[in-house]
Structure 1
Amino acid sequence: MRKLAKACSISLLSLATIAGLAPAAQAAEPGGGDIKVALQQIPGLTIVKEDPAPAGFRFFELTFTQPADHRRPDAGTFQQRFTLLHRDFAAPTVAFTSGYNVSTTPNRSEPTQIVNGNQLSMEYRYFLPSRPEPANWSQQLTIWQAAADEHRAVQAFKAIYPGKWLATGGSKGGMTATYFRRFFPDDVDGTIPYVAPNEVVRNGSYNRFLARVGNDPACRDNLKALQRDALKRRDELGAVAAKDAAKKGYTFSIVGSADESLEIAVIDSYFAFWQYQTQAQCAAVPKPGAPADQVYAWFEQVESLNTYADQELSPYVPYYYQAAVQLNAPEAYDSYLRDLLRYPGADAPRTFIPKDVKVPPFQPFAMADIDLWVKAHGSQFLFIYGANDPWGAEPFELGYGSRDSYRYFVAGGNHGSRISQLPADQAATATAAVRRWAGLPPTPTGPRFQSNTAGFPLFDADLTLTDHPRL
């Protein structure tokens, strides 16, 4: 199955100062200019620890007290994990989420690099340890509740970061950034979702996309031939997978068996190849009949045959729950495998949810509401997609009500597509828009507002997509 922030008083700096356009006298900074002191003044915020950071930055692991249910303040609270990469109180701030867990490495999203800003990163509710106890999945794990988490966080941190704010994320994080903007449209000045699927309704769009993805029919045929070969040799490959599973202590109680895990992984491998590989890697696809160890090693790179072991699957149960209840999910692309399947129809979100978690009926209007709002009111949006990424089969569309918004596709791009991969003219337009929304000139002026990359890894999918191999 495909997977997819206080109460200290400060004086606002002038917009010109924040944008680096005028050398205005600076008002007193929060905490006397010490970010740690400023953070300690935010109610409900706990500094867990400060970690090393590149020169010119400070990096903190934090927890923030959130209501378990924003509609019922008496329903208890939980501690939500955050990290903060601080550069300058006057700089723009980027609210980032992967839609899953929060990374505790001081990396920067691409928008944070573009504006050379601060970055507040947050863990999505119900991804451990950011889960209320006792859990009430149906009331607490909704797209609105998660948006309200982000709203409280951003409003709290605006007390120390009064400048412009942006929201971003990739994949499920891009979806999260979009939903946040829908429910709280005035919290940020621009939203940059990367590779964010817009799964309004199951209409065959994913399967139509997968049937013609790329420009090499032979590559598609070779992938399908390998899948069929793997299912015909499931006992042979299953023995290799079982040996690996035993070494790692894997069990398969959620999906039901190692054999079912293997079958679903084989189905998903075609989708996963296009999600994270490039067409150039078609040459490495094993031929039918290749040695089992070679075939198994290929699947390990693309979609492990043990992907759905309990130990691999459990951290992502909140995603599957949301996919089953609100987010929707692509249909399985498996018509050419049907004669070899032992568990037809199993490649669906409910298969990956433990039986002790009650799953309510699907809510078809949740995504329809988001889709219509983006078309009617989605201003200051920048959507980035990869042309070969299956998750872009149903992209968000800008409509009659969209203003100052853009959507770009990276030619041949996969699920790690980003602004820097666009043609020069598109990348320049997109970068200028992000900087304008952040209150900055199109190009950096002065060392205080120029991007500093020293000590940081280059932007890559690991920051945006810290999730299961499928979303």
Structure 2
Amino acid sequence: MRNKGIPALVCAGLMAGAAALGGAAPAAAQPAPARQGGPAAPDIRERLERIPGMTVVSVADKEGHPFYTLTYRQPVDHRRPHGATFTQRATLWHKATDKPTVLYTGGYTLAGGTASLTKLIDANQVSVEHRYFAESRPSGAAGDDWSKMTVQQEAADEHRLTRALRAVERGKWLGTGSSKGGMTATYHERFHPGDLDAVVAFVAPDDADNRDDSGYERFFRTVGTQECRDGLNAVQREMLVRRDALLPTFEAEAKAAGHTFDATLGTTDRAYEFAVLDQVWNFWQSGTAADCATVPDAKKATDDELYSWSKKHGFSVYHDQELGTNGTGPYYRQAATQLGWADLKFKHLADVRHHPDVYQPNSVLPAAMRGSYENRTVADVDRWVRTRGTRMMFVYGENDPWSAEKFTPSRHDSYRYVVPGANHGASIAKLPQADQAKAVATIKRWAGVQ
């Protein structure tokens, strides 16, 4: 499944190198000086405040330029624009109105960092919080209506925000994001192709057919060396073979941390098995082939050695406190209904599993957030990207399980690069020199900069 922060069931949306390379804006609020190429900061603020539904919450200085924290009123259902509304959080780092603007979508909560693309082309940056995450969730009954947590609705959110802010930032606009953020930027481009001048998506999974996980299965049969794969599988299996000995430690740690499982996975046994199933995925998502040297001999390792190594290399616990409406739950809702998930077979674990149905996103959702899957949306996006997408770039990591099912770009000025040996932190900076030069030249051409 994936990620849960940076583990598995959720796809990790904040991996360094792909998107968030800088820190959050400083808290001190002071106006930035005027810059050549654009109006002074007070004039920009006035323009922002004239946008219907836009509120400037605060302004701070970031590297000598104004950094605006914003809220924007959005329809809960864009098919009924005059119905219930909610406020979506966003930020604008403004440098100059004639510079390009990067629309950075983290795919989860509001990201405070600087996207690599922003640094590359010295752009303005708009960051947006995904609907139903953190403070961008409707209040009251509308906030509990998860039918409005869809790819199409979020794309419509970003469409309205982009069109509104284009009145302020008038240069080229490029969308970007990593992992779920890259997926979100791709969905925006598919449903509103007139908004952005280009899209650069990092490690964005494309689960075009949720019934076919052969790409993921093939990845785990071929990644790294046979020795490393065998060692990881043996550790994973031994964690379940020794379940009776290790479960008390798992339960004691959960109790000490205040973690419960009643509302989601249900029992500590199910939660333990789920964490074990995620281990190998997480090992490759965040680690490298160099980490293979640390894999213990599963048969010879003591219980403490086995458990301790696993906790440092992929054993990540899913619990009620971070899986509901205010945590990563909204992601799993999307995975369960539209984005899909890797339903791995785990043939080497068949005889030591207790819960063959547990490895799917509804398992980690409260009952009120669970949903039924439909494949039409992601299949449509996949077809559109392959046949009609224009000025789109996808960057993947060779050893990243999320990159096992990739978007295939069209021939319309669109490209795909794979970083050798890279995990979920794949970036343009890690590409071989020739590929890196081509990718940078393409992006700068799209952005209209030297």
Instruction: Give the TM-score category using the shorter length.
Output: 0.7 to 0.9
- Partner of 1:38, secondary structure, is helix
Q: Check conservation: 1:39, 1:45, Cα contact below 8 A.
A: yes
Residue 119 of structure 1 corresponds to 125
What is the CA–CA distance in structure 2 between the aligned matches of 1:392 and 1:363, rounded to whole Å?
22
What is the CA–CA distance in structure 2 between the aligned matches of 1:293 and 1:70, rounded to whole Å?
53
What is the CA–CA distance in structure 2 between the aligned matches of 1:62 and 1:299, rounded to whole Å?
42
Q: Check conservation: 1:98, 1:170, Cα contact below 8 A.
A: yes
2:268 to 231, 236, 258: 258
Q: Check conservation: 1:31, 1:37, Cα contact below 8 A.
A: no
Q: Check conservation: 1:99, 1:172, Cα contact below 8 A.
A: yes
- Partner of 1:356, secondary structure, is helix
Q: 1:391 to 1:27 in 2, by over 3 A?
A: closer
1:351 aligns with 2:363: yes
User: Equivalent residues in 2 for 1:220-299 (5 A)?
Assistant: 220-253=229-262, 254-288=264-298, 289-299=300-310
User: Equivalent residues in 2 for 1:24-423 (5 A)?
Assistant: 29=38, 34-53=43-62, 55-103=63-111, 105=112, 107-133=113-139, 134=141, 135=143, 137-201=145-209, 202-203=211-212, 204-214=214-224, 216-253=225-262, 254-288=264-298, 289-305=300-316, 307-314=317-324, 315-359=327-371, 361-399=372-410, 402-423=411-432
Higher relative contact order (CA 8 A, sep 6+): 1
- Per-residue CA deviation, residues 171-193 of structure 1 (Å, 9 max, x unaligned), is 11111010100011111111001
Residue 467 of structure 1 corresponds to none
Answer with 37-46 or 225-234: which moved more: 37-46
Q: Check conservation: 1:207, 1:331, Cα contact below 8 A.
A: no
- Per-residue CA deviation, residues 310-355 of structure 1 (Å, 9 max, x unaligned), is 1132311111111111111111241110111010121011112211
- Per-residue CA deviation, residues 334-389 of structure 1 (Å, 9 max, x unaligned), is 11101110101210111122112352x32121111001101111110110000111
What is the CA–CA distance in structure 1 between the aligned matches of 2:147 and 2:322, rounded to whole Å?
26
Q: 1:301 to 1:50 in 2, by over 3 A?
A: farther
Q: 1:413 to 1:28 in 2, by over 3 A?
A: closer
Q: Could you tell me the percent identity over the aligned residues? A: 42
- Partner of 1:362, secondary structure, is coil
- Partner of 1:388, secondary structure, is coil
Q: 1:286 to 1:404 in 2, by over 3 A?
A: same
What is the CA–CA distance in structure 2 between the aligned matches of 1:31 and 1:43, rounded to whole Å?
21
Q: 1:60 to 1:298 in 2, by over 3 A?
A: farther
The residue type equivalent to 1:271 in the other structure is W
Aligned-pair CA distance for 1:303: 2.9
Instruction: List alignment gaps of at least 5 residues for structure 1.
Output: 5-25, 442-471
The residue type equivalent to 1:175 in the other structure is M
- Partner of 2:187, secondary structure, is helix
What is the CA–CA distance in structure 2 between the aligned matches of 1:352 and 1:372, rounded to whole Å?
30
Q: 1:245 to 1:187 in 2, by over 3 A?
A: same
Q: Check conservation: 1:267, 1:332, Cα contact below 8 A.
A: no
- Per-residue CA deviation, residues 261-291 of structure 1 (Å, 9 max, x unaligned), is 1111111111111111001011122332434
Q: Check conservation: 1:30, 1:160, Cα contact below 8 A.
A: no
The residue type equivalent to 1:231 in the other structure is L
Q: TM-score, normalised by structure 1?
A: 0.83
Aligned-pair CA distance for 1:137: 3.7
What is the CA–CA distance in structure 2 between the aligned matches of 1:183 and 1:356, rounded to whole Å?
28
For the aligned residue pairs, the C-alpha RMSD in angstroms reads 1.9
Q: TM-score, normalised by structure 2?
A: 0.87
Q: Check conservation: 2:278, 2:315, Cα contact below 8 A.
A: no
Aligned-pair CA distance for 1:37: 3.4
